Amino acid sequence: MTLSMGPQHPSTHGVLRLDLRLDGELVVGCIPDIGYLHTGMEKLFEYKKYQQGIVITDRMDYLNPLGNNLAYVMAAEKLLDLEIPERAQVIRVLMCELQRIASHMVWLGTHCLDIGAMSVFFYCFRQREKILNLIEAASGGRMTPSYFRIGGLMMDLPAGFERRCNQFMADFPEAMNTFDTLVTGNTIWHSRTKGIGIIEREEAINWGLTGPCLRGSGVDLDLRRDNPYTGYETYDFDVPVEQDCDVWARFRVRMRECLESYKIVRQALDRLKPGPIKADSPKVVLPDRDDMRKHMDSLIHHFLIVAEGFNVPEGEVYHAIEASKGELGVYMKSNGGPKPERVHFRGPSFVNLAALPVMCEGEMVADVVAIIGSLDIVLGEIDR
Amino acid sequence: MTEKLHAYVEKLKEKNETWVNTVTEGHGEVTVTVPRGSIVDVCLFLKEGQGFDMLADLCGADRGPEEDPRFEVNYHLFSTTHHSRLRLKVLLSEDEASVATVSGLWKTANWHERETYDLVGVKFEGHPDLRRILLPSDFDGHALRKDYPLRGYEPYSLN
């Protein structure tokens, strides 16, 4: 029997259709059908100036927008050879790790909801709400912050941000304990996740899995440590790895990752020192408002950047960061003008979803829901 | 940083001189332009012999209708053991916009190649299932080509 699961299904979190070939309740074949959402972003980048592209990236993985911002601006900064000041780098790390926790909260909540536990969802979204409030305080946006700019940040953190962040930090370990009590020790949870959706180590690398999905298959790889960027090499954190290769292992990796991100946020908060938040490059970075009122050349630079954009030297880069779902890579090619020649996003969800058939075959229909949840896909990133 | 990468390129040249057309370096990355016919051999050598066991990304690009060669396909190789990245590039002219598939080496290439075929219009010979992936099967044209209009072909791209 062929069962068409989706395009609108409570567990697919977006428009995804799975063509399931069934033998009774057993899945013998699975063909993912994507493209319902295709937003043509890669085409759009070619028609926008570099700085205008940042707001598009927010819409891709809308649960981890700051991660997308970071990948995009860092690729452009690499082409421009920009030096980013210390404070801006610390704030980038701080915000990205908060965002990673928020993204994992959505994953945990919806993953549990898919399998049938409801209250975890509300507890998770309560924590996520606190983080979104922090992001809103810093950038003015909740889901689409566009906080990072080529050469630094949009603006400095507002007064009282550290105090509010510390409030969140004080409550979070308690919340994680609640999740552990509710989910990790739950025997129903064990029987729904252990031994389900197995993908072995070699197979996982062959399918190009990255992030928690790969680390759940026993591969010790984290780009924050292995291809460090924004000064991640100076932070002290562990990379959680699990050997079971199943839904349970991927669940454990993400749960432990939340606490590692918590550790990094702590360290970043300790490192916040006053200083500039934008690179010293007047041709690329917008001047301060005050300077614009006092200096003619600042006014000219502002006008030129806004009206014409800035020219980026010829070249091509591939910059990869560890987003909450895995390796988010940006391939950016410039022909020297104010608009990129080609921007390609290597979305981790896109690659992870391709491996879904391997994990599903031989499992029950009900397990497909658990496996999709364990991949933590966002359709905005798949159908860029 | 890039010395390590150049060492891999040297090994590649040692193995077979004809595999490497040009080598360019920039922003800490090394790009190797590979002749169209030998991409699978080069990938196999790097995968089996040099530890580049993961294909991080594969994407196509259009340089514009007036350029020759018009298309390029970029392979971003990554190693999960020594964490190096190497970019391979294949240049394709408009008349022969096709290259052999590497989905036999890396299964992840399957979807990447389908996406490249869908959006840029490069064909991958030997691909097990070369269908459109993001756009509908009756879509007209390839959306990421430079001469494809932003609003689509008139009256409709879907027929």
Indicate yes or no: CB of B135 within 8 angstroms of CB of A38.
yes
pLDDT at B157 over 70: no
State the Cα–Cα distance between residues A65 and A246, nearest whole angstrom. 28
State the Cα–Cα distance between residues B131 and A223, nearest whole angstrom. 32
Q: Does B87 touch chain A (CB under 8 A)?
A: yes
Indicate yes or no: CB of B108 within 8 angstroms of CB of A318.
no
pLDDT at A326 over 60: yes
Query: Residue range B29-34: average pLDDT?
Result: 93
Q: Does A225 touch chain B (CB under 8 A)?
A: no
Indicate yes or no: CB of B61 within 8 angstroms of CB of A79.
no
Indicate yes or no: CB of A205 within 8 angstroms of CB of B54.
yes
Peptide bond into B69 cis (omega under 30): yes
B77 by DSSP, 3-state: which?
Answer: strand
Q: State the DSSP code for A182.
A: I
pTM assigned to the model: 0.93
Q: Is A222 left (phi over 0), alpha (psi -120 to 50) or beta?
A: beta
Indicate yes or no: CB of B29 within 8 angstroms of CB of A35.
no
The number of angstroms, rounded, from the C-alpha of A124 to the middle of its chain's C-alpha atoms is 17
Q: Does B23 touch chain A (CB under 8 A)?
A: no
Q: In chain A, which among 69-108 make CB contacts under 8 A with chain B? A: 78-79, 81
pLDDT tens, residue by residue, B47-93:
998 889 999 999 999 998 888 899 999 999 999 999 999 999 999 99
Indicate yes or no: CB of B61 within 8 angstroms of CB of A342.
yes
Provide the total of helices (H) and of strands (E) in chain B, helices listed first: 3, 7
Query: What integer best gives the mean pLDDT of chain A?
Result: 91
C-alpha pair distances (Å), A238 with each of A70, A235, A341:
22, 10, 38
What are the residues facing B124 on neighbouring strands?
B99
* A318 vs B contacts (CB less than 8 Å): 29, 56-57, 74, 76, 85, 87
Q: Does A350 touch chain B (CB under 8 A)?
A: yes
What are the residues facing B125 on neighbouring strands?
B100
pLDDT tens, residue by residue, A281-303:
888 999 988 889 999 999 999 99
State the Cα–Cα distance between residues A291 and A299, nearest whole angstrom. 8
pLDDT tens, residue by residue, A144-156:
999 999 989 999 9
Indicate yes or no: CB of A342 within 8 angstroms of CB of B133.
no
- B149 pLDDT band, cuts 50/70/90, is confident
- A320 pLDDT band, cuts 50/70/90, is very high
Q: State the DSSP code for A156.
A: P
Indicate yes or no: CB of A205 within 8 angstroms of CB of B53.
yes
Task: Say which of B62, B108, B133 has its CB closest to residue A351.
Answer: B108
Q: State the DSSP code for B139.
A: B
Enter the ipTM. Answer: 0.92
* B108 vs A contacts (CB less than 8 Å): 206-208, 351, 354-355
The number of angstroms, rounded, from the C-alpha of B7 to the middle of its chain's C-alpha atoms is 22
* B53 vs A contacts (CB less than 8 Å): 205-206
